[in-house]
Amino acid sequence: MNGSRSALKALSVGVLALLVAACGSTTGSGSSATTVTGATNAPASITIGTAYSGSGAFAISSLAELNGLNFWISNENAKGGVYVGAYKKRIPIKLISYNDQSDPATAGVLYNQLITQDKVNILVSDFGSVLTAPAVSIAQAHQQLLFDQSGTGIPFFTANNPYIVLCNLPESSIWPGPLSQFLVAKHIDKVAIVYGTNDFDVSQAETLKQSLTAAGVNIVYYQGVPTTTTSYGTILTTIAAAKPSAVLELGYQPNDVAFLQALQSSGIHFPMAFTVFPGQLLALFQKDVGTAGLAYTYTYATNYFHNYTNVNEGMTSSAFLSAISKAYPGSDNTLGLLGYNTGLVIQATLKNATDLSQIALRNALTKISGTLNTVDGNFKINAQGAQIGELLPLGQLVPNSNNTAVKLNVVYPTSQANASAVYPMPGS
């Protein structure tokens, strides 16, 4: 979820240069935190700072994540605050949030403000990799740990940066593993791939190209398009001429909606069509694309569709979905779950950290890695802070008996499947 690799690199270099010039060797709010000597030194509140998109291309996803985070904050504050192990007491949570309007440059300014002016204890990134990208270099420059909600781009996670942790979704090159395995298992020999030129989609496309080519699958179309693309008519015509057995469109929610709408209106039929976001925002896609446009297409089956009951932080899946639908109607989706789960990761971190310094928080995350189980499954990170404890099964959207809505069936891997895939798609 992301900006282009070159853009990220340029932005990172530019931001780092600016910060060094302006701030010297600034260490940020967290590294100046007082070492705990007793409960009497406890702060009046734990401040969490984040940017969100109140408007623009990422608003729908971002606001749902923010609602999930707010839901967690409300629940903890109702108990007197979040439990902080270093002080052996609950401390109220204060959220500072700023609207970046889906603009990475604005987001960068706001992340810097949260660290240098607001001096937040906990820094949380906005939705996706496009809006997380500026936070990565800024947080690293200030030695402030970034709680990355859903920025899964590969370049974010490096050996020399301990100041990032991916709270929820796996790093994006892991996403298409089950999809690739399914294509090979189905003996699908010709595949077309169109992808957004951002880290989130590029990493998936490259992973698919490499794994499918190694398995002998012919990639008959492989093309990147700007992340702002909302017109796919010409692209579909070109793809159709190559006669692929499967078409994979890798984009964000606006891209996927536009692609599926264009596919339906074109009259072109492929044996298989895959998009990324219907599994995250199914109600929105049901409204914008409709049953006919979604029927028998494939998507990632996120943890939203799995009922986790064996949790050791927070609510079970069913309890969470019931509660958030009442507190924040319309946020009972994958993005709402991710925001809530970010809160649970912060909660577990504060419970286990020896103090509020940023390195102590990072060490606590290493401690809980592999043992934390929540509504998002098992939290497990590698040495670079990337999430590796979750996989995204392949799902297929199947119409109900009267064709008024679709439901998501998990179809691969077989160990997690609750239905068999319908391939080829009817009408192809």
What's the CATH code, domain 5-169+309-379?
A: 3.40.50.2300
Q: How many CB atoms lie within 10 A of CB 88?
A: 11
Q: How many CB atoms lie within 10 A of CB 369?
A: 19
Length of the chain: 428
Contact 280, 335 (CB under 8 A): yes
- Within 54-127, residue ranges assigned H as helices are 59-77, 104-116
Nearest one of 46, 128, 23 to 346, comparing CA atoms = 46
| Exposure class string for 256-293: b at 16+ Cβ within 10 A, else e | bbbbbbbbeeeebebbbbbbbbbbbbbebbbebbeeeb
Please tell me the distance from the alpha carbon of residue 157 to that of residue 161, in angstroms, as a whole number.
7
Beta strands at 89-91 and 82-84: parallel, antiparallel or unpaired: antiparallel
Would you identify the CATH topology of the domain 177-301+393-412?
Answer: Rossmann fold (3.40.50)
Nearest one of 426, 420, 390 to 170, comparing CA atoms = 390
What global pTM score does this model have? 0.82
Terminal alpha carbon distance of the chain:
31
Quickly count helices (H) and strands (E) in the chain: 14, 16
Q: What is the pLDDT of residue 3?
A: 41
Same fold, 5-169+309-379 and 177-301+393-412: yes
Per-residue pLDDT of the chain (428 residues; tens, 9 = 90+): 544 333 333 333 343 333 333 333 333 344 334 344 455 689 999 999 999 999 999 999 999 999 999 999 999 999 999 999 999 999 999 999 999 999 999 999 999 999 999 999 999 999 999 999 999 999 999 999 999 999 998 899 999 999 999 999 888 888 999 999 999 999 999 999 999 999 899 999 999 999 999 999 999 999 999 999 999 999 999 999 999 999 999 999 999 999 999 999 999 999 999 999 999 999 999 999 999 999 999 999 987 888 889 999 999 999 999 999 999 999 999 999 999 999 999 999 999 999 999 999 999 999 999 999 999 999 999 999 999 887 789 999 999 999 999 999 999 999 889 999 999 999 87
Taking the domains of the chain in order of start, what are their residue ranges? 5-169+309-379, 177-301+393-412
Whether residue 413 has a cis bond before it, omega within 30° of 0:
yes
Q: Which two tokens stand for residue 422?
A: 């319908």
